[in-house]
Every structure is written in C-alpha cells, then in structure tokens.
Structure 1
Amino acid sequence: MNLLYSALLYLSLFTIILVYIIYKAKSFKKNNKSFIPKEVNYQDVEIALLGDIDLDNINYTESKFENPKETVTLPLDLIIDGQILSNNLNMINKDQDWLIDTLNNKGVSHINKVTQATLEPSGKIVIS
C-alpha cells in the first residue's frame, strides 16, 4: 500500500512540475521569445532532469527558426504510372494540355509509358 501512495505522490509531483514548465514556456511565447537557452551546460541539464532548477535565471534568446525567411518547395509529381495527377496540376495552375505539350517537346509521345514525371523546384520536369 505504501508503494501505491509513493507512486501517486511522484506522479502528482511530476504533473505539477510539468504544468509549471508549460506555464513558463507559454509566458516566454507571449514575450516573443523562444524556449531555447543561450548557454546550457551539463549541470543545468542534470538539474533540469533531476529537479530543483530555477528557470528564471537562464538566459534565453530568440530562435532563428520561428520566422523562416525562406520557403521550401518540394518536387511535385505530375504523372505516376502513366496517370496524370490533375490535383497536382491544379496546384501549379496548369492543365493537361500544358503537360502534354511540355512532354511532347521533350520527346515523349505516349503518356501511358511514363513511369514518373516530376516538377522540380527549379521548374524543370524530370521524366523517368
């Protein structure tokens, strides 16, 4: 029975500590700061894992990942196993006629023989 009470006590303490950390993280977000410390040493990590850490004394810096200045464009499949993916063509504001003309210019006469055609971020269409 004592083991059950001990487990409940530790679970309660863990929950309270977790709620406190989440509260602190939200207050940093309100101040437009991220939750990334400037300097962390092994002692701080050990104390954080084992308990008894003062989060107010850690220096925080803004994260360079919060507002990325560049967008990432991924390759987009236009044809898979001879089937034109109309939804993907609509995403780039193109139609099937454009795709057929582009493939004809590249020497492809039958779309059903194309295993895969992909639009690269550079605008180049790769056919396999």
Structure 2
Amino acid sequence: MCTKNVDHLRDLLVKANISIITSETVADNPVNQILNLKEQDAKIIIMDVYGSKAAAILCEAYKIGITGEGYMWLLLGWYGKKWWHFQDGYHRCTKEEIKIAIESTFYLSTDMVQLRPSMETNIAGIVCINPF
C-alpha cells in the first residue's frame, strides 16, 4: 500500500478542519486499539489494512460495540471477494458475527485506479508503484 496516500489524506483532513482524534497501529490483536477508539468516541474510522486484518478489526469493533448505527468505517485498499471470511490471523468472531458487523455498519471501500503503469506523479503529487 502507498502510505504516502494515507499521509496525504491526513493532511487534507486537517486542512478541511476535520479533527483527527487518534491514530492507531494494529499488530496482531486489535482489542486495545478498538477500546481506545471507543474511549476517544471515534465515529468515523479509516482503516488502511489488508482484508484479513480488516475483518479482525471489525470483529473486535463488533464485540466492543462500535459498529452499526452511528459509526462509519472507511476502508482504504484492495479487498478480494468475501474478504471478511477469515483466512488467517487473529479473530474471535464467528462467521455470523462478522456478517452482522459488516451488514450493520456503513462502510465505504476504496481502491487505487489501476490505469497507469508509469511512474508519473499523481494528482496528489505522489508517485506510487503499481504492482500490476
């Protein structure tokens, strides 16, 4: 993933006077980070992780109670079909629980436009290597 895009998004949010109340890094077990999001009263959560990690994070968010009405999750990245099916990594939810977490939560998933294999600078002034 191109972390410079996340940095640029953060800059745009600050310029738009949108408060960033916390920034969390998740290793394996996301419980502490999700608890911190709840404690900070985060309502819009932006994730820049792969699908299996996103599923684990949403699992914990469901268990801790920060999914559903009143929360918006923005998922940055490329997700395969049925990305919420656990393949590996940390998780404590059943498939039914993760299904409820995803279906009850408004989320928006984004992806990079895969149109240009060149090393040109994009509109944000960033060069990201396209692996395709």
What TM-score do the two structures reach when normalised by structure 1? 0.20
Q: Which structure is higher in helix share?
A: 1
- Which of the two has higher C-alpha Rg? 1
Whose relative contact order is higher, 1 or 2, with alpha carbons under 8 Å and at least 6 apart?
A: 2
